[in-house]
A and B are shown apart, each in its own frame.
Chain A
Amino acid sequence: MKKADRVRWWTYLILALATLACVFPLYWMFVVATTDTATATQLPPEIVPGGNFFHLAGLVFSTVPFVRSIINSLVVAGTIGVGQAVLCSLAGFAFAKLRFPGRNVLFLVVVLTMTVPTQLAVIPQYMIISQLGWVDTLQALIVPGLASAFGIFWMRQHLATTLSDEILQAARIDGATSWQIFWRIAFPLVRPAAFVLGLLGFVFAWNDFLWPFIVLKSPEMYTAQIAIKALQNSRSIDLGLAMSGSFLATLPLLVLFVFVGRRMVVGIMDGAFKG
């Protein structure tokens, strides 16, 4: 079995090619975001970054209210991330550790909602948002984004395995309410998992396009993704403009990823199906 145990050279070759495929488009985004139109359209293509970055970035900021868009995205994605982490932990705690009539049926309903393709219902969704007077507001993005069936499923898994019934019993005997047990014992215990869930919610909300595109109307309310679309519309100004906007809108997530990417990988693999 000695031979089978060694890592073959082509394993590394394939992994290196896959990594290149993952990273190259981002590098290319940066290259085009730093060159002027003449360079971007020459053949053979220039494959090293040019010196036009600040010129194009300046154009991005003067064409759309980009700073405002980034702030909007931070507010929406941040609230959704934190909200999902707390709400899903709470619901996951109820499903994992509390007994109540209808628990199993309700949990099944939660799991089944994961398979419901709600995106095709955008027209009535828009009608409801407009009835609430929420068109062109950030809460139209935040409130629907707070519910996550996947998040409840995921937190329930973690709570079922990390919080022992003995601790729960002991706390009960000491007269603790379920809220106290959740807030003092359960939530601190699963905070790492809740953190990763919040991150995934943040990333999803930051990158969401269709729904913000439908409900946001005025440029001051745009999220970063909708600002990119607006930049693409004014593409005639400069080829690199939309690319520069795309790069600037991706940069915050890349920076975040450098710090927490490792935990995201571990978290995604921990929450996955095992065996």
Chain B
Amino acid sequence: MTTTLSPRRTTPEAETEARVRQSLAERLAPYAYIAPFFLIFGIFGLVPLLFTFYVALFDWNPIGEHVFIGLDNFSRLLGDPRFWNAAWNTISMWLLSTVPQLLAALVLAHLLNHARLRLATLWRMSMLVPYITSVAATTIVFAQMFDRDYGLLNWLLGLVGVGPINFQQSVWGSHIMIATMVTWRWFGYTTLLYLASLQAIPRTIYEAAAVDGAGAWKQFRHISIPSLRPVIIFTIVTSTIGGLQIFTEPMLASHTTPLTCGPIRQCQTLTLFLYEQGFGQFQFGYGAAIGVALFVLIIVIATLNYLLSARIRPER
């Protein structure tokens, strides 16, 4: 009987039945369309995040036993100078990379927003070149440029009588070097986001301000900045979440001591410390505790950020 699919078989009952079935399928369809995201995020994002808090309560060896030790990992962490060093490094490099990045993007977006600018596409495209360059490649080329003996930068500094500066081996030098890499990679992308927002501001507002005698700086300060508020908050939040999880740059910056970013851990970040403890020393429990600490740090700084950036208000 192959006639089951024949359209002639549609009796009124079958038709109603088909409509009911279709409408049930139709009602469930939206959930099916969004299910892949929730499924994948649940398994590989949310569950691991919650599980981090659980694993942190154990002395957990990946190939051996796991013993419940309560909050011991945390008390050990708070007494571990390597942890405080990594936390300080993380905050320092995050600040050194975020602040210049956002300021440079503000200025560049303002310049690019000129109606009569020539070569607009060229400028915009070149801003995106660092974004498509991988962090690994970026780190390797910048580490070479910052090299004490053969680096381009020290050679240039030498021409004006400075240096040579041992960027990789010093605390501040390595922080500046890594912050430069992060800034380089992201400032163009941020510039484009700001530029898009600036272009949405009607030109007539600037013209009216100019008629009222507001100069370039006043226009920038009182029209551009307040209008950019949502996107500035957005970029601050994303660069905080990203900046506090810096990993690849410090790991590849020092090819002899990758897990500590140098002999005195001068640029080891929290994520790198987590990796060192978890995958270098196989202390999953202690590594997870570092993850929890990083989570708390991100929440605290994100909240502070939000409170601070709430002060950027439109002035009317």
Question: Which residues from chain A sit less than 8 Å from chain B, CB to CB?
Answer: 1, 4-7, 11-12, 14-15, 18-19, 21-23, 25-26, 28-29, 32, 40-45, 87-88, 90-91, 93-95, 98, 100, 103, 106, 109-110, 113, 115-128, 143-144, 146-149, 152, 177-179, 182, 203, 206-207, 209-210, 214, 224-225, 228-229, 232-233, 235, 242-243, 246-247, 249-250, 253-254, 256-257, 261-262, 264-265, 268-270, 272-275
Query: Which residue of the partner chain B has the closest CB to A5?
Result: B116
Within 8 A of A (CB), among B195-217: 195-197, 199-201, 207, 210-211, 216
Residues of A within 8 A of B3 (CB): none
Give Cα A110 to B195, complex, Å: 26
Q: Quick check: B36 and A274 within 8 Å, CB to CB?
A: no
B266 contacts chain A at the CB level, 8 A cutoff? no
Complex Cα–Cα for A94 and B38 (A): 14
A-B pairs with lowest CB-CB distance, top 7: A124-B48, A246-B137, A272-B196, A147-B40, A207-B134, A124-B51, A121-B48
User: 6 A-B residue contacts at CB 8 Å?
Assistant: A7-B116, A11-B111, A14-B108, A123-B284, A147-B45, A272-B192
Q: Which of A25, A124, A146, A268 contacts B193 (CB 8 A)?
A: A268
Residues from chain A with Cβ under 8 Å of B117 in the complex:
7, 11
For the complex, would chain B's binding face be called helix, strand, loop or mixed by DSSP majority?
A: helix
Interface size, chain B (Cβ < 8 Å): 104
**A residues within 8 A CB of B237?**
115
B30 touches A269 (CB 8 A): no
Question: Whole-angstrom distance from the CB of A129 to the nearest CB of chain B?
Answer: 8
A216 CA to B181 CA in the complex, in Å?
Answer: 25
Complex: how many Å from CA A179 to CA B131? Answer: 35
CB distance B40 to A272 under 8 Å? no
The answer to whether A149 and B125 touch (CB under 8 A), given A25-B138, A203-B132, A268-B189, is no
Expressed in whole angstroms, the Cα–Cα distance for A233 and B140 within the complex equals 12
Between A93, A95, A225, the greatest number of chain B beta carbons within 10 A of the residue's beta carbon is seen for A225
Q: Is the CB of A124 within 8 A of B200?
A: no
